[in-house]
Amino acid sequence: QVHLVESGGGLVQAGGSLRLSCAATGNVFKVNDMHWYRQSPGKERDLVASSARDGSTTYADSIKGRFTIPRDNAKNTLYLQMNSLKTEDTRVYYCHADVQVNRNYGFNHWGQGTQVTVSS
């Protein structure tokens, strides 16, 4: 069984920084694409950034230049480094990943979500 374990959320003042982590644990053969999403209550979950296994990345316009998503394939871990945080970044952040359990089978998984609150 595979789990995506998130950590690193919390409360920070506007202009500050936080780093989230998402580790794929359990029966992991290989992790392919990994993503960060975020969601406000009552709204849809929005894609924040994506990381392919080869290191290529894409970012939503709303966070370009402020967030980066370094990745450690040896640890099956994706990070979300958030700098210059704004109050509008306050959301629950979710990790999503395509995880292979062997050479032939892969499944999509979601993390449990972690709250990020940015105060003014």
Give tens-digit pLDDT for 36-77: 999 999 999 999 999 999 989 999 999 999 999 999 999 999
Q: What angle do CA 39, 6, 112 make, to 5 degrees?
A: 55
User: Residue 75 phi/psi, 5° resolution?
Assistant: -105, 5
Give tens-digit pLDDT for 86-104: 999 999 999 999 999 999 9
- pLDDT-derived band at 8, boundaries 50, 70, 90: very high
* Predicted local distance difference test score (pLDDT) of residue 55: 86
Q: Which of 32, 24, 30 is nearest to 5 (CA)?
A: 24
The residue-averaged pLDDT of 6-32 equals 97
